[in-house]
Amino acid sequence: CLFFPVNQILLLLLLLTVCAILYNKVHQVPSALKNEAVDLESPEEMEEEIPVVICAAAGRMGATVAAISSIYSNTEANVLFYIVGLKTTIPHIRKWIENSKLKEIKFKVVEFNPMVLKGKIRQDASRPELLQPLNFVRFYLPLLTQKHEKVIYLDDDIIVQGDIQELYDTKLAPGHAAAFSDDCDLPSTHEMVRSVGMQNTYMGFLDYRKQAIRDLGISPSTCSFNPGVIVANMTEWKHQRITKQLEKWMQRNVEENLYSSTLGGGVATSPMLIVFHGKYSAINPMWHIRHLGWSPDTRYSEHFLQEAKLLHWNGRYKPWDYPSVHTDLWENWFIPDPSGKFKLTRPDS
């Protein structure tokens, strides 16, 4: 008589198991819809898009390709590249990407209209390449990337060795529209700066003989910053009318010659130094190791460069030309031009 209730219990358990299996079969959600449901219910868990703005200039498109290649290869983040060019250069860069291993990237090609710069650039014969329209793209970030709250801008003569997500996560202080790298931030670069006679203060960029510059009340020994790598807050940028402020100083320079390329080696940096003085956050120094293009023979230690997250060949000596230094690090990411138009300049070529 002990077996009867035990058999009943076993039968009951069996029935419950069958019912559970049938219920799951009937109510099962296809796996493709499960993720969709989670995303709809938890938008905060959706992967954030990281917008990266980079220019594609004629004669330098190999730089753009190498930079994009290095970023894409070193991250799992959801990166959207805004590739900015002039009307004549856009077909070339698009074809290069679509016919190489970069065809998997997410990108938008944006045409920059140089007419926005009319009357705002003072002609300077000493280094005419610095007056190219795309050098000023960074002034117009909100017009190029309208839907994003936070944007990364990068010069084309860089490679990224770290995860771009880290740079994107740079914290901006309340009220700051951008983060830059201070030119005095890394002791290991100081020797390089001294050895090639580089300027890393406002005195090297602005003409303190001019009353308009002295009226700013900025000490000439104030450390400058490099706008080749920018993490920008678009809400603050628009709120503070940063683009209008930059344009104002460009126009004043046309009228009064307040800065020139013979000083700091560029006319795009000086208005930014004025507008952002005392109002910017700091980028981790290892996310902007620069001056690699300032001398054809002054080198950093290999160990130091291996630790770096981002390398910048600012200066005259570019890694796709000759002479230049640390070209092996840059060439790791270069993808040859399928059309054959862009070629590396090497001593044996």
Which pLDDT tens digit goes with each residue over 99-133? 999 999 999 999 999 999 999 988 765 566 667 89
Mean pLDDT of 25-37: 36
pLDDT reported for residue 32: 31
Percent of the chain with pLDDT over 90: 68
In angstroms, the CA 46 to CA 210 distance is 52
Q: Which CATH class is domain 50-183+198-332?
A: alpha beta
Domain boundaries, the chain: 50-183+198-332
